[in-house]
Amino acid sequence: MNILRKNTDYALRMMCNLAGNYRQRAVSVRMLARQEDVSYQFACKILQKLQVADLVESVMGPAGGYRLCREPEKITMLDVIQAMQGNITVNRCTDKYDNCPRQPNCPVSIVLRRLQRNVDEFFVKVTLKDLLNNK
């Protein structure tokens, strides 16, 4: 099982594309789809989700398209992941909404919660700017 779904992978690539064009111009959906090897229809759906999450905005007109709502260094991988697929959970016992009766003394849960914190901390530290700089 993959942690990141296909649509999240596509969203991250499209967001990196937009980050590379930040402060320059809006990028059309067709161009994003072509450059990132995503179907036009799928790119539209992804961008709608990103727009609802206030990560991108639509620009109308002949030079229209999409652009980031804020600077690349202020958008994290976790922002994009959550916009596309919600929270990543290592296991259901690491989901804060799960009320497992074995908590808090389960030895497996203790380790999985530590892993969950590491995953969350990693994705919140990596920004679009970092991805562009291959860090």
Residue 52 lies in a domain: yes
Residue 93 lies in a domain: yes
Q: What is the pLDDT of residue 63?
A: 81
Residue 125 lies in a domain: yes
Residue 99 lies in a domain: yes
CATH number of the domain bearing residue 72: 1.10.10.10
Q: What is the pLDDT of residue 96?
A: 67
Residue 59 lies in a domain: yes
Q: What is the pLDDT of residue 135?
A: 56
State phi, psi for 87 to the nearest 5 degrees. Answer: -70, 145
First and final C-alpha spacing in the chain:
25
Residue 82 lies in a domain: yes
Q: What is the mean pLDDT of each run of 10 residues along the chain (135 residues)?
A: 89 97 92 96 97 95 90 97 91 71 79 91 96 83
Token pair listed for 1: 């099982």
Q: 72 burial class (0-12, 13-18, 19+ CB within 10 angstroms)?
A: buried
Specify the number of domains making up the chain: 1
Residue with tokens 């003394």: 105
Query: What pTM does this model have?
Result: 0.88
Q: What is the pLDDT of residue 94?
A: 75
Residue 1 lies in a domain: no
Per DSSP, helices labelled H in 5-106 are 6-20, 29-35, 40-52, 77-85
How many other C-beta atoms can be found within 10 angstroms of the C-beta atom of residue 111?
A: 12
| Angle (nearest 5°) at CA 20 between 123 and 75 | 30
Could you list the residue range(s) of the whole structural domain that residue 96 is in? 6-132
Q: 54 burial class (0-12, 13-18, 19+ CB within 10 angstroms)?
A: exposed
Residue 92 lies in a domain: yes
Q: What is the pLDDT of residue 43?
A: 97
